[in-house]
A = this chain, B = another copy of it.
Amino acid sequence: MNRVFNFSAGPSMLPLSVLEKAASELVCYGESGMSVMEMSHRSPDYEAIIKDAEAMLRKLMNIPDNYKVLFLQGGASTQFAAVPMNLIKRTGKADYAVSGQFSGKAFKEAQKLGYDVKCIATTKDDNFDHVPVITKDMIRPDAAYLHICFNNTIYGTKYGYIPDTGDIPLVADLSSCIISEPIDVSKFGVIYAGAQKNMAPAGLTLVIVREDLLDYAEEKMPTMLEWKTMAENDSMYNTPPCYTIYMAKLVYEWILSIGGLDVMKEMNEKKAKVLYDYLDSQDYYIAPVKADSRSMMNVTFVTGDADLDKKFASEAGKAGLKNLKGHRSVGGMRASIYNAMPYEGVEALVAFMKEFAKNNPKK
């Protein structure tokens, strides 16, 4: 098997050992006589899997007991609607910081639903090359929550700090940085994340919600979007995405086996450093993101010449470095180096970048 280095922003690489384990027990799981894909979600075998997945994630992220862990469907995009529908009744209005495309979508979704929402900070005028500085006084004192997107996949930025929102619950989309490093869950009211970047295949959405925030759901909202209903039913109000949860469990198990999120962070920092150090050491490629907002997961760069960018992505692909083309909305290149990207992948990328720069002098 000729395995490539896949720099896709998501769905993205999974650890090889996880894929191999999944393949080895796909047809028959343990002594069950069936595939995990075939198990009733109410069977003891499957209940053990989903309970283990939750227990492992709680251990990994050190999730306090007063937070519920929900395994849902629909992606972060569904949570863009679920967040205001579950929370806005707390006070009747909510604030948003817009630091890129997905936080913008979250804000627009709340507007579309007719809610009183305000964008209190945005870096749009700077092409989102950094995240906003948010201080408590910027937030409306009677906001039901402040919503942020912690890591901006498309622009390659990340909050280098957790905004202090005082008593106002902080709601954060962590889709592209969840379980990449330790994070203090107690600083958040709600954390949510699509699984398809660091956690599992696509089709699973994680919601971590503080228990006291479960009591504000709209009456006239889809039951399937109610966090409280899902919490009361241990994510099994209806059939959950069973196999994808099992895959997440294998990924959690893998991270625990290598030493947890402290070790994961070290590994991720090391990978990101190689890439950023190289970018800072030369002037063929430009890294548009301001230093204090650089993402550890998504590293963006351009040559400054759209044709060269195109050639870069194409030739890299042929060299086994896949999906380096930037998002269609911004162009350039983007290397997504999530947990499962090996160090060797980043080394190979830097080597390719050097070679490409040498072989393709700018006019």
Q: Check A81/B224 contact, CB under 8 A, given A22-B26, A41-B202.
A: yes
- Contacting residue for A73 out of B4, B34, B41, B73, CB 8 A: B73
Q: Is A57 an interface residue (CB 8 A)?
A: no
* Contact indicator per residue, chain A 71-99, by CB within 8 Å of chain B (1) or not (0): 00111111011100100000000000000
Q: Tell me whether B8 and A35 are in contact (CB under 8 A).
A: no
- Contacting residue for A6 out of B8, B11, B22, B38, CB 8 A: B38
Q: Tell me whether B113 and A2 are in contact (CB under 8 A).
A: no
Q: How far is the CB of A238 from chain B (nearest CB, A)?
A: 4
Q: Tell me whether A202 and B242 are in contact (CB under 8 A).
A: yes
Contact partners of A28 in chain B: CB under 8 A: 1-3
* Chain A residues within CB distance 8 Å of chain B: 1-4, 6, 8-14, 16, 19-20, 22-24, 26-28, 32-35, 37-41, 43, 73-78, 80-82, 85, 109, 112-114, 194, 196, 201-204, 219-225, 237-244, 247, 320, 322-323
Q: How many copies does the complex hold?
A: 2
Q: Check A223/B109 contact, CB under 8 A, given A19-B26, A38-B12, A244-B203.
A: yes
Q: Tell me whether B9 and A35 are in contact (CB under 8 A).
A: no
**29 contacting pairs across A/B (C-beta < 8 A):** A2-B28, A2-B33, A3-B33, A3-B34, A4-B33, A6-B34, A8-B43, A10-B239, A12-B38, A19-B27, A33-B322, A41-B202, A43-B323, A73-B74, A73-B203, A74-B74, A75-B224, A75-B238, A77-B223, A80-B223, A82-B222, A113-B222, A114-B220, A194-B239, A201-B242, A202-B243, A203-B241, A222-B222, A241-B244
